[in-house]
Amino acid sequence: MRNLPKSNIEILEFIPDAIVIVNSDGRIILVNSQTEKVFGYSRDELIGKPVEILVPERLRDLHVGHRQDYYSKPCPRPMGRCSDIVCLRKDGSEFPADISLSPIETEEGFLVISDIRDITERKRNEKALEDSEKKYRDLADNAIVGIYQSTLKGDILYVNDALARMYGFESPDDMISGGALLRYKNPKDRGNLMENLKKDGKVTDLELEMLTAKGETKNFLVSATLNGEVLSGMVIDITGRKRAEEEIKKLNEDLERRVIERTNELAATNKELEAFSYSVSHDLRSPLRSIDGFSQALLEDYMDKLNDQGKDFLVRIRAATKRMTQLIDDMLNLSRVTRSEIHREKVDLSALVNAIASDLRKIQPERKVEFVIAPGLVTHGDARLLRIALENLLGNSWKFTGRRPEAKIEFGAVEQQGRPAYFVRDNGAGFDMAYAGKLFGAFQRLHNMTEFPGTGIGLATVQRIIHRHGGDVWAEGKVEQGATLYFTLSLT
Amino acid sequence: MSNPLPTISNLKSKIILLVEDNPDDEALTLRALRSSNILNEVVVARDGREALDYLFGEGAYAGRDLSTMPEVVLLDLKLPKIDGLEVLRQIRSHERIRFMPVVILTSSREEKDIINSYSLGANSYICKPVDFIQFTEAAKQLGLYWLVLNESPPVKRRK
A278–B24 C-beta distance less than 8 A: no
Q: Report yes or no on whether pTM surpasses 0.80.
A: no
pLDDT band, very low/low/confident/very high, at A416 (cuts 50, 70, 90): confident
A293–B132 C-beta distance less than 8 A: yes
pLDDT at residue number A24: 87
pLDDT (mean) for B113-125: 95
pLDDT (mean) for A156-174: 86
pLDDT at residue number A196: 83
Considering CB atoms only, which of B24, B108, B129 is closest to A290? B24
pLDDT at residue number B90: 95
* Residues above pLDDT 70, as percent of chain A: 97
pLDDT at residue number A5: 52
Compute CA A267 distance to the chain's CA centroid, rounded to the nearest angstrom.
35
pLDDT at residue number A473: 94
Bigger pLDDT: A383 or A4? A383
User: Is B128 near chain A, with CB under 8 Å?
Assistant: yes
Region label for A376, one of left (φ > 0), alpha (ψ between -120 and 50) or beta (otherwise) = left
Which of A445, A448, A441, A440 lies closest to A487 in space, CA to CA? A440
* Residues above pLDDT 90, as percent of chain A: 36
User: Is B25 near chain A, with CB under 8 Å?
Assistant: yes
pLDDT band, very low/low/confident/very high, at A276 (cuts 50, 70, 90): confident
Nearest CA in chain A to B22: A286
B24–A289 C-beta distance less than 8 A: yes
Considering CB atoms only, which of A282, A293, A295 is closest to B135? A293
pLDDT at residue number B159: 45
- Residue A37 contacts residue A89 (beta carbons within 8 Å): no
pLDDT at residue number A362: 92
* Secondary structure class of A465 (helix, strand, coil): helix
Q: Which residues of A touch B129 (CB under 8 A)?
A: 289
B22–A296 C-beta distance less than 8 A: no
Q: What angle do CA B130, B132, B144 make, to 5 degrees?
A: 110
Task: Please give, rounded to a whole number of angstroms, the shortest distance from the CA of A339 to a CA of chain B.
Answer: 15
pLDDT at residue number A20: 92
Nearest CA in chain A to B135: A293
B128–A295 C-beta distance less than 8 A: no
pLDDT (mean) for A284-299: 90
* Residues above pLDDT 70, as percent of chain B: 89
CA atoms lying within 13 Å on the CB side of residue A8:
1
pLDDT band, very low/low/confident/very high, at A275 (cuts 50, 70, 90): confident
Q: What is the Cα–Cα distance from A411 to A463, expressed in whole angstroms?
A: 18
Please write the tens of the pLDDT for every residue from A202-259.
Answer: 888 888 888 887 888 888 888 989 888 888 989 898 988 988 999 999 999 999 999 9
Bigger pLDDT: A198 or A125? A125
A296–B132 C-beta distance less than 8 A: yes
* Secondary structure class of A100 (helix, strand, coil): strand
Q: What is the Cα–Cα distance from A283 to A278, expressed in whole angstroms?
A: 8
Please write the tens of the pLDDT for every residue from B70-87.
Answer: 999 999 998 888 889 999
Bigger pLDDT: B95 or A437? B95
pLDDT at residue number A414: 94
Which of A78, A90, A22 lies closest to A54 in space, CA to CA? A90
Q: Which residues of A touch B22 (CB under 8 A)?
A: 286, 290
pLDDT (mean) for A388-415: 93
User: Is B108 near chain A, with CB under 8 Å?
Assistant: yes
B130–A325 C-beta distance less than 8 A: yes
Nearest CA in chain A to B20: A286
Q: What is the Cα–Cα distance from B15 to A278, expressed in whole angstroms?
A: 33
pLDDT at residue number B1: 45
ipTM of the complex: 0.77
pLDDT band, very low/low/confident/very high, at A6 (cuts 50, 70, 90): low
**Residue B94 reports pLDDT greater than 90:** yes
Mutate to test the interface with B, among A277, A290, A326 (most CBs of B within 10 A): A290
Q: What angle do CA A208, A215, A231 make, to 5 degrees?
A: 40
Nearest CA in chain B to A280: B108
pLDDT band, very low/low/confident/very high, at A492 (cuts 50, 70, 90): low
Nearest CA in chain A to B28: A293
B110–A278 C-beta distance less than 8 A: yes
> Of A82-86, A260-264, A275-279, which one has max mean pLDDT?
A260-264
pLDDT at residue number B145: 92
**Residue A379 reports pLDDT greater than 90:** yes
Nearest CA in chain B to A333: B110
pLDDT at residue number A105: 86
Nearest CA in chain B to A317: B131
User: Is B24 near chain A, with CB under 8 Å?
Assistant: yes
In this structure, how many other beta carbons lie within 10 angstroms of the beta carbon of residue B153?
Answer: 13
pLDDT band, very low/low/confident/very high, at B9 (cuts 50, 70, 90): very low
A300–B131 C-beta distance less than 8 A: no
Mutate to test the interface with B, among A286, A327, A339 (most CBs of B within 10 A): A286
pLDDT (mean) for A352-357: 95
Q: What is the Cα–Cα distance from A224 to A193, expressed in whole angstroms?
A: 9
**Residue B128 reports pLDDT greater than 60:** yes
Task: Please give, rounded to a whole number of angstroms, the shortest distance from the CA of B158 to a CA of chain A.
Answer: 40
Beta strands at A94-106 and A86-88: parallel, antiparallel or unpaired: antiparallel
B108–A282 C-beta distance less than 8 A: yes
Task: Please give, rounded to a whole number of angstroms, the shortest distance from the CA of A282 to a CA of chain B.
Answer: 6
Q: Which residues of A touch B25 (CB under 8 A)?
A: 286, 289-290
pLDDT (mean) for A328-355: 86
Nearest CA in chain A to B106: A282
* Mean residue pLDDT across chain A: 87
Considering CB atoms only, which of B35, B78, B128 is closest to A289? B128
* Secondary structure class of A136 (helix, strand, coil): helix
Judge residue A36's burial from the number of C-beta atoms within 10 Å of its C-beta, 0-12 exposed, 13-18 middle, 19 or more buried.
middle
Which of A299, A154, A145 lies closest to A223 in space, CA to CA? A145
pLDDT (mean) for A306-318: 90
The contacts of residue A282 (CB under 8 Å, 6+ apart) are: B78, B107, B108, B110
pLDDT at residue number B11: 54
